[in-house]
Amino acid sequence: GQQVMQIPQYQHVQEGEDFTTYCNSSTTLSNIQWYKQRPGGHPVFLIQLVKSGEVKKQKRLTFQFGEAKKNSSLHITATQTTDVGTYFCAGPRMIQGAQKLVFGQGTRLTINP
Amino acid sequence: GAVVSQHPSWVICKSGTSVKIECRSLDFQATTMFWYRQFPKQSLMLMATSNEGSKATYEQGVEKDKFLINHASLTLSTLTVTSAHPEDSSFYICSGLTSTDTQYFGPGTRLTVL
């Protein structure tokens, strides 16, 4: 079926180290979205990438969309304790005539201060 | 970004009772809202798509008579868990779909059924 795979499932880093999570889709995506969910919280929209090969930055976060629009990555430079949470990628899919968002499994980031 | 509210934020109920959860888009009109369920340390599982003025579309394996959805206006969708049982205990999250096809999530409702 139509899937969005995300790796790694967990990542533990020392504060100040970099972090990357990868997202792969079995089919081409019209766009890809990234969300962050803090422990005990709800997913918060971070960004949407639309163009092939697009790169967007938000302070220490860098988002990339692959040339084939089937993969994406989120890279955090010099992590801080506030970066703790689970990062989800999501791609829209037409399923049974309706557009739905298919989420990856998420990457849980924990940080040792 | 767009704001979605959800009420209540948490609820504890007895087995057999029904619980209604409200989802409101506060600063945009959401013709489409989604209801998700999330188990601890897992990803979001889409339960149903709620369309304003029409019947909800349920995902495979989700009982429509168990999880009643009503989307009576462009800013409000409700999910009613009927005859709740302990296995229905979960974190329920709604989202509103914006005109740019991004989803903004409500803060979630933690349901505990005793």
Integer-rounded Cα radius of gyration of chain A: 14
pLDDT tens-digit readout, A33-57: 999 999 989 999 999 999 999 999 9
Task: Please list every residue in chain A whose beta carbon sits closer than 8 Å to the beta carbon of residue B41.
Answer: 108
What type of residue is B23? C
User: Which of B41, B102, B108 minimises the CB distance to A33?
Assistant: B102
Average pLDDT, integer, range A2-19: 93
Mean pLDDT of chain A: 93
DSSP line for chain B: ---EEEE-SEEEE-TT--EEEEEEESSS--SEEEEEEE-TTS-EEEEEEEETTS--EEPTT--TTTEEEEEEETTEEEEEE-S--GGG-EEEEEEEE-TTS-EEE---EEEEE-
| Minimum CA–CA partner of A4 in chain B | B43
C-beta atoms of A96 and B57 within 8 A:
yes
Task: Give me B38's structure tokens.
Answer: 């999330």
Q: How many residues does chain B have?
A: 114
**What's B86's DSSP letter?**
G
CA triple A98-B20-B49, angle to 5 deg: 0
Whether residues A104 and B101 touch (CB distance < 8 A) is answered with: no
Which residues of A fall below an 8 Å CB-CB distance to B?
31, 33, 35, 41-45, 48, 88, 90, 92, 96, 98-101, 103-106, 108
Q: Tokens 């889709």 identify what position?
A: A25
Q: For every one of its 114 residues, what pLDDT tens digit does chain B have, with 9 covering 90 and above?
A: 789 999 999 999 999 999 999 999 999 998 899 999 998 888 889 999 988 888 899 998 999 999 999 988 889 999 999 999 999 999 999 999 888 878 899 999 999 999
